[in-house]
Amino acid sequence: MSIECNDGRLNIDEIDRQILEILADNPRQPYADIADELAENDIQMSSEGVRRRVTTLFDNMTSFFLPRPEKNSWELVVVTVRTEDGPQPKRDAFEAIAEMNFWFVAYGFGTVDVYAIATAPSNTEINALLAEVRGLETVVEMDHFIETDRAVNISNYLPVN
């Protein structure tokens, strides 16, 4: 059963993963229908049991909506930024980009310092957003990617304990 560990982290099991997969296909799926789909995979659970699991999962996650780019009249752009050395330039860039028209902004460590995602109705608006990022004082290098298609495999999304 999905429960929080002593360290406060959520353990995801195969049942949770299947519930998330069902919800990824139809987020308005009634709990009773989810229970029926689970039963098709030899998992017996009441709709109340499904509700408890969904509540626990959602209490420990953020919403992340990924509309398919080919089904919309706007573009999705991913931007990666490398900043000057040091923690403060990275933090400054992160905070500045978070104030821009991006709906997801993250920073951590690796080959890039800041990672951001935005949607825009045209390439003209994307170019304006990219120019705004390039204009930040601490930005040394920036790359971008405009998504045109994607494949999603929810079974690979979360590790199963």
pLDDT of residue 67: 60
Q: 14-59 domain in CATH 2.60.40?
A: no
Q: Determine the CATH number of domain 69-147.
A: 3.30.70.920
Give residue-wise pLDDT tens across range 89-129: 999 999 999 999 998 999 988 999 999 999 888 889 999 99
The pTM (predicted TM-score) of the whole model is 0.64
pLDDT surpasses 90 at 61: no
CA–CA separation, 122 and 125 (whole Å): 5
Cross-strand partners of 75: 120
Q: What is the b/e burial string over 106-133, where b = at least 16 CB atoms within 10 angstroms of the residue's CB?
A: ebeeeebbbbbbbbbeeeebbeebbeeb
pLDDT surpasses 90 at 59: no
CA–CA separation, 39 and 42 (whole Å): 5
Measured in whole angstroms, the distance separating CA 10 from the mean position of its chain's CA atoms is 17
pLDDT surpasses 60 at 135: yes
In the chain, domain spans: 14-59, 69-147
Calculate mean pLDDT across residues 17-24.
Answer: 86
pLDDT of residue 97: 98
Measured in whole angstroms, the distance separating CA 101 from the mean position of its chain's CA atoms is 17
Backbone angles phi, psi at 9, to 5 degrees: -90, 150
Q: Which of 151 and 68 is assigned the larger pLDDT? A: 151
pLDDT of residue 7: 61
CA–CA separation, 113 and 94 (whole Å): 8
pLDDT of residue 21: 84
Note whether 14-59 and 69-147 share their fold. Answer: no
Q: Which of 100 and 26 is assigned the larger pLDDT? A: 100
pLDDT of residue 27: 81
